Amino acid sequence: MPKHKQNPFSLCSLALLLMVAVSHSAAAQTLAMPQSMNEFVNWHLDRGATGTWVDNGVTKEMWVGIPAGIRYTSTNTLIYSPEDQTLYHSQRMVTENGRVISTGTGLMSWSEENNAPMACSSGFDMGKPYTGTSTLKGIDGDSIHWEYTELSQGKSTTYSNIVKYTGLNTRTQTVMAENTREPWVTQSARANPGGDLMKTTNLAGTWKRELPDGSTLHREISFIADGHVLKQARTLTQKDGTTIETDLYLMYWDPVNDHIATMYLDEHGTVIHGKIDSITTEGDTVTVISSHEGSRFGGLTMSTQMTQVVTPKTLTTTFQNMSLNGIRHGLSWSESAGLSTRVTE
């Protein structure tokens, strides 16, 4: 029986195929499927998936209905409805000049037939309709794997779609069409309208105010909660060197009322709520005007308007129309401006 010479290329190809098969098998083994819609929803809620996400970039040769090479801003929103146990999502891609190149909506719900989540979406790419369905392949840690099939302009294309939550407010999405090797990877950040506005106040930093009695009031203003809250903590240093933590003032975004809300708490049990009325900038000077009302001095309702004028080196605070139970009442500290200076290292 004659001997046949082995083809080296065939051996290498076979080895590569085996490696790919093993790799895909191992990857599949790490993916877990949720056992209920509640588990599926909680996976998203635990990672803060709901809300609005934004990414910027340049389109690639990926989606049938979207040409490559267009600079865009993409906004994606996900909300959960407990009433019908459904996750609803929407997306919108806009160019630099305001042209909408893609928009769509969809949902994720539980399929009793498949005993697994299913997703569907529809919309318009460059003004032409598309529809799509997604099958969940599984979840691996902070990554969720989908297989997405889209019908656009008469062509059906299947994509691998992997979303990975990389931080408290960041995520990536990796999309790759069938029979291609080049994925489209986008990096998104959670929209933070309040944080973006609060940065413009230039309040963050350390401030110091010398008081008439020889004590010093230190004000430390910093962002917390990954940039979503601006915290002001004040400490009084007395002449003998002892310190007292006097009060706390928080600024944060209120999504229900669509404004920056405030809360003031002090060492006497005071609780005062408020909101930012305006933030204006003129040169290197920022003026922040806010309104406040709450319980103080043993149950009295205190209300006032506060104006903060911020320059690179100074913070001047004044109060207008200070009132107790609706009656004008000037307090010992409310009728003159308070001047603090920025502490620089």
pLDDT for residue 30: 87
| Nearest C-alpha neighbor of 316 from the set 296, 278, 289 | 289
pLDDT for residue 179: 86
> How close are the terminal C-alpha atoms of the chain, in Å?
88
Work out the average pLDDT over 312-326. 98
Element (H, E) at 17: helix 8-30
DSSP-assigned letters across all residues of 132-190: EEEEEEEEETTEEEEEEEEEETTEEEEEEEEEEE-SSSEEEEEEEETT----EEEEEEE
| Residue 165 to residue 173: CA distance in whole angstroms | 9
pLDDT for residue 29: 56
Enumerate the domain spans of the chain.
31-190, 195-342
Work out the average pLDDT over 287-299. 96
Do 195-342 and 31-190 have the same topology in CATH? yes
Contacts of 42 (CB under 8 A, 6+ apart): none
Q: Render pLDDT for 253-290 as a digit per residue (tens, 0 to 9).
A: 999 999 999 999 999 999 999 999 999 999 999 999 99
Superfamily of domain 195-342: Calycin beta-barrel core domain (2.40.128.20)
| Nearest C-alpha neighbor of 97 from the set 122, 72, 74 | 72
CATH class of 31-190: mainly beta
CB atoms within 10 A of CB 132: 21
Contacts of 176 (CB under 8 A, 6+ apart): 159, 160, 182, 183, 184
- Model confidence at 8: pLDDT above 50: no
| Residue 73 to residue 92: CA distance in whole angstroms | 8
